[in-house]
Structure 1
Amino acid sequence: MTAKPFASSADLADKQQTLEVLADGVYALTAEGDPNVGAVEGDDFLVCFEAMATPVAARAWLERLREHTGKPVRYLVLSHYHAVRTLGASAFGADVIIAHDATRALIAERGKQDWDSELARMPRLFKDPASIPGLTWPTVTFSDRLTIDLGGDRGELVLAHCGRGHTEGDLVAWLPRNKIMFAGDLVEAQAALYTGDAFHRPWATTTLDHVAAFGAEALVGGRGAVARGRPAVEAAIEQTRAFLRTMLEETGRVHAAHGTLKEAFAAVHAALEPRYGRWPIFEHCLPFNVSRLWDELSGTERPVIWTAERDREVWTALQS
């Protein structure tokens, strides 16, 4: 069998970006399965959600946003620590960079390794990587919930930690007034999941239960189209849950039978591919996903740090 190109290294074609106005002063930029970003207007400032992979990429997003608002960026919210979400932060000129307590700890523990790993996995997203000044450090962190008063009659923006899931420190941004949620990579809409740093059991159960309990009527996931309307939001959450449950069932079955990691990968691939295989980053993510879950089932509670070298070893073992 011919070896598949490593991760997304062969995915070099630009994706069509779409800026959507979800409500007055609420924006989302999607791009055919590339990481989504968003922004919310306060009375005289902006809150931006996610930073993209490089300052050059972030500036292109901000140019699109400036077609709608000239307000300065006061807050930049990072949903989690992954490089494609954080390393463009310097372009925003934000007064405050917000993340979960665990996200700051993860940046300190493994931020540089993650940077090297993701650059090799997804080179197209790193437009002019030399423009990155270094790791992005939050200036404000929290453990459970943080509320930003948007001023005037714009209500508030609630940042909440729903539990361990895609990483230890994922947070969501919730607009109660509009019933709009930015969910980061805790939920994907018509895009495959990356679970290489995940906690599969809580994510598939209590964490997604917490996300669903907000009752969002529009949801911007980490990748894929904006889910509009309660049925679409519920479908995106359940699609995410089903992906995780299938991984748990198939990997668990092979692990309990004292099989091998490669056998588990084959079983998970066969179970997921008919439904999810056509969606963005499915083949890219699955080796890393199954490897992490196998570690969990073997008693490794926290994810092993991904390095560029470890990435290649796992890919060669499972995707060749």
Structure 2
Amino acid sequence: MALSGQPAEASRRWPLRRPMRVLVAAAGLTLAFPGAQAYGEGGAGLHRSMLKVVPLGDGAHVVTGGITNTGFVVGKDGVVVIDAQMLDADAVAMQREIRARTDLPLRAIILTHSDPDHINGLPAWPRGIMVIAQENTLSEMTDTVAGKQFYARPQPPVPADLKSYLPTELVRHSRTLTVGGISVVLTHLAAGHTDGDLVAWFPAQRVAFVGDLLTGGDPNLPDRGPYPVINLEKFGSSAGWLKVMKAALALNARVYVGGHGSAQVDRDQLKAMILATERRRDEVEKLFKAGKQLSEIRAILKDPPPSPPLFFPTFVEIVYAELLRA
């Protein structure tokens, strides 16, 4: 079952868009966030713990630890992996954990989006493995390999062999695949965290892997409350996030697996996050339309000052920047 709602019209990049650094500067934000040095040094400052595998039932597993939450599903004829890890050592450790549970071949890796903590571990996986992603993720990975800098802050080095792992199976809006005896519905409804997000819905397991569409509770993202992280530099959207997550809530899912923080979110928790996010976005928009400046809005809404390490503005700042763009 695909996500409900109409897919966004073609993909990437709003026409005639203003450069994002101009937008955030106009909003009074900065892209040189505290904690960036640790990220630029390969993520060592963000590494949380050794990997831990938690079974979700019917062959689905979530992998916590490292820098980002990942996962895998064991089917009749093979294994499907969700996100590749950032560090080679974690990618190798994840394969070791898979091998402790099954000898079936690794058939595919689904990328939930293009951020380096989800893709930089790809060269540590077997050469020739099927790599599945949304079309914009392929474009962003191609840009990354070519040396494009998405962020003003330092970025981790691009793995030398990442060019050999560019996605070969692409999704524009929605696609259903059977890989290794596993059925998965892949949907891109709108830009949310980035413009290349995929929701990977495994109907037999009733598990949805949603990547950084869910980031709550991560100690590396302090002061976030229940609100999502929106990556404006990769054309994410808070309005799009609400559209995508409302559709995800309509799935018959037992659990939603996010890219950071709490690895398992149930339906009630997701509903509460959606309601809180929608309410906060409406509050910011109302104050913006009343002529309030960002500093005033933050004071009125008691938006906490960011604490390092931090890589993205607060949700209030994000919505303000989006409203300036509109």
User: Could you say which residue in structure 1 is the equivalent of 2:291?
Assistant: 258
CA contact (8 A) 2:37 2:154 kept: no
What is the one-letter code of the residue matched to 2:239? R
Give the 5 Å matches for 1:10-49. Answer: 12=45, 14-16=47-49, 17-31=51-65, 34-49=67-82
Task: Give the drift of 1:164.
Answer: 2.3
- Aligned partner of residue 98 in structure 1, secondary structure: strand
Task: Give the drift of 1:282.
Answer: 8.8
d(CA) in 2 for partners of 1:84, 1:266: 33
What is the one-letter code of the residue matched to 1:53? M
- Aligned partner of residue 79 in structure 1, secondary structure: coil
- Aligned partner of residue 45 in structure 2, secondary structure: coil
CA contact (8 A) 1:265 1:287 kept: no
CA contact (8 A) 1:83 1:115 kept: no
User: Could you say which residue in structure 1 is the equivalent of 2:171?
Assistant: 142
- Aligned partner of residue 287 in structure 1, secondary structure: coil
Task: Give the drift of 1:218.
Answer: 1.9
Aligned-pair RMSD on alpha carbons? 3.3
1:217 aligns with 2:254: yes
d(CA) in 1 for partners of 2:80, 2:62: 12
1:200 aligns with 2:238: yes
The percentage of counterpart residues that share the same residue type is 23
Any idea what the Cα deviations from partners look like across 1:89-116, whole Å, max 9, x if unmatched? Answer: 1111252111011222233456745576
1:177 aligns with 2:204: yes
1:186 aligns with 2:248: no
Task: Give the drift of 1:243.
Answer: 4.9
In the superposition, the TM-score normalised over structure 1's length comes to 0.72
In the superposition, the TM-score normalised over structure 2's length comes to 0.71
Task: Give the drift of 1:24.
Answer: 3.7
Where in structure 1 are there 5+ consecutive unaligned residues?
121-125, 301-320
d(CA) in 1 for partners of 2:297, 2:309: 15
1:7 aligns with 2:44: no
User: Could you say which residue in structure 1 is the equivalent of 2:29?
Assistant: none
CA contact (8 A) 1:189 1:236 kept: no
1:99 aligns with 2:99: no
> More deviation in 102-111 or 170-179?
102-111
CA contact (8 A) 2:246 2:274 kept: no
More helix by share: 1
- Aligned partner of residue 267 in structure 2, secondary structure: helix
d(CA) in 1 for partners of 2:195, 2:47: 31
What is the one-letter code of the residue matched to 1:21? P
Matched residues, number = 275
Give the 5 Å matches for 1:277-288. Answer: 284-285=310-311, 287=313
d(CA) in 1 for partners of 2:248, 2:270: 8
User: Could you say which residue in structure 2 is the equivalent of 1:165?
Assistant: 192
User: Could you say which residue in structure 1 is the equivalent of 2:21?
Assistant: none
Task: Give the drift of 1:258.
Answer: 3.2
CA, structure 1 residues 271+83, in 2 after alignment: closer, same or farther (shift >3 Å)?
same
Where in structure 2 are there 5+ consecutive unaligned residues?
1-31, 39-43, 219-223
User: Could you say which residue in structure 1 is the equivalent of 2:321?
Assistant: 295
CA, structure 1 residues 114+283, in 2 after alignment: closer, same or farther (shift >3 Å)?
same
| Aligned residue among 62, 66, 88 for 2:95 | 62
d(CA) in 2 for partners of 1:66, 1:251: 48
Q: Relative contact order (C-alpha < 8 Å, sep 6+): which is higher?
A: 2
